[in-house]
Amino acid sequence: MQIGVETAKAVDQRRVFVVDDDEITRAALQFMLHDEIETHELANPEEAYEKGVDWLRPHVLLLGVSFLKDRGAKLVGEATSRFPGVRILIVCEKTDEAIAVEGMKAGAHGTLVKPLTLEAVRKKVDTVLGRGGAAPIVQLGILK
pLDDT tens per residue across span 78-97: 999 999 999 999 999 999 99
- Could you give phi then psi for residue 130, rounded to 5 degrees? 75, 30
**Within a domain: 107:** yes
pLDDT at 6: 53
Q: How far apart are CA 114 and CA 94, in angstroms?
A: 7
User: Using an 8 Å Cβ cutoff, are 68 and 90 in contact?
Assistant: yes
Q: Is the pLDDT of residue 131 over 50?
A: yes
Is residue 111 domain-resident? yes
* 45 vs 122: CA distance, rounded Å: 22
70 has a pLDDT exceeding 70: yes
| pLDDT of 3 above 90 | no
For residue 50, is it within any domain? yes
User: In whole numbers, what is the pLDDT of the chain averaged over residues?
Assistant: 87
- Determine the Cα–Cα distance for residues 132 and 57; give it in Å rounded to an integer: 22
The residue range of the domain holding 40 is: 7-116
For position 96, which CATH number holds? 3.40.50.2300
- Report CA-CA distances (Å) from 43 to 6, 78, 80: 29, 17, 18
pLDDT above 60 for 66:
yes
Per-residue confidence (pLDDT) for residue 48, from 0 to 100 = 96
pLDDT over 70 (residue 10): no
Largest interatomic CA distance in the chain: 58
Radius of gyration of the chain (CA): 15
Above 70 in pLDDT, residue 2?
Answer: no
Is 141 a member of any domain?
Answer: no
In a domain, 128, yes or no: no
